[in-house]
A and B are shown apart, each in its own frame.
Chain A
Amino acid sequence: MALIRWNHTRDLPSWPSEVFGLQRDVNRMFDNFFRGGLQDDSTELSAWTPAVDIAEQKDAYLVKVELPGVRKEDVKITLESSILTIRGEKKQDTETATENYHRVERCYGSFQRSFTLPTTVKADRIEAVYKDGILNITLPKAEEAKPKQIEVKVK
């Protein structure tokens, strides 16, 4: 088997994960400063940082975590005093013992992301579904946290 030649002109640049990591850290700093309520408490313990999308609805938070190739059983979601933590490990999916790598760009190892939710959620009603490499977490808001409309009569 011939060796793979790395061709500059053909191959798009693949940035090392540290560059993205740094960019993400800087973005996160900015985000935390501007974003009301939601706070990213991720620690630097992670070997890599999965991308996260969070949307707020009237009655729930929707959290999406990019976890391609991570097994369901290797993901742990916890909620402790309004801090949502998603942690786990991505294991290298070696198929045979005799595998030789020509290129390894994917990141492996443990990951962790934590967020402080701005409002209380129903801890016992949190649902998580893993599909196509994306973890979808739905956190229904607690009754007292839902927006209430009060009609004020003008006399």
Chain B
Amino acid sequence: MLMRFDLPRTYDSLLDDVMRWDVRPTTRSFSPAVDVAEQENEMVVRMELPGVKKEDVKIVFENDVLTISGERKPYEIPDDAKVLLNEMRVRQFSRSIEFGPDIDAARISAGMDNGILRVILPKAEAARPRTIEVK
């Protein structure tokens, strides 16, 4: 039987140790990829959060800034399992995106589907496009 060497985890913990010596306090956070799209009446934010439960996500909108933070918790693996490959990152995440003043903050909504968090930020009535009929 060959011996399996759990390099990714070893390498990670080594790296984490080095990071801890940094002058700044590291928060061990990562930035999930995000798309921001503008539609006619709303802004849509889509963030990749695979394996994150919706109860572990916190969304705050304050001073025109949308902040999505939370934690990706490690999944359970059986006790007798040996890790052969570990590329997924489990740790805290936080992203802040600044919007203009035209967001109707009271009507912001969010949903999670297939590992994608979707935040819908409706535009304030005054900021929506209007069609003006020529009489």
Contacts and interface: CB of A to CB of B under 8 A. Distances in A.
Q: A and B bound? A: yes
Interface of A: 1-7, 10-15, 17, 24, 27, 30-31, 34-38, 40, 51-58, 61-62, 64, 66-71, 93-96, 98-107, 115, 118, 130, 132-134, 147
A30 B14 CA distance: 15
Given A1-B100, A133-B116, A98 B39 contact: yes
B35 A62 contact: no
Contacts of B82: 55-57
A64 B87 CA distance: 10
A105 B36 CA distance: 9
Given A68-B50, A69-B116, A35 B7 contact: yes
A2 B88 contact: no
B100 A27 contact: no
Nearest to B4: A36
B125 interface: no
A51 B30 CA distance: 14
A29 B130 CA distance: 56
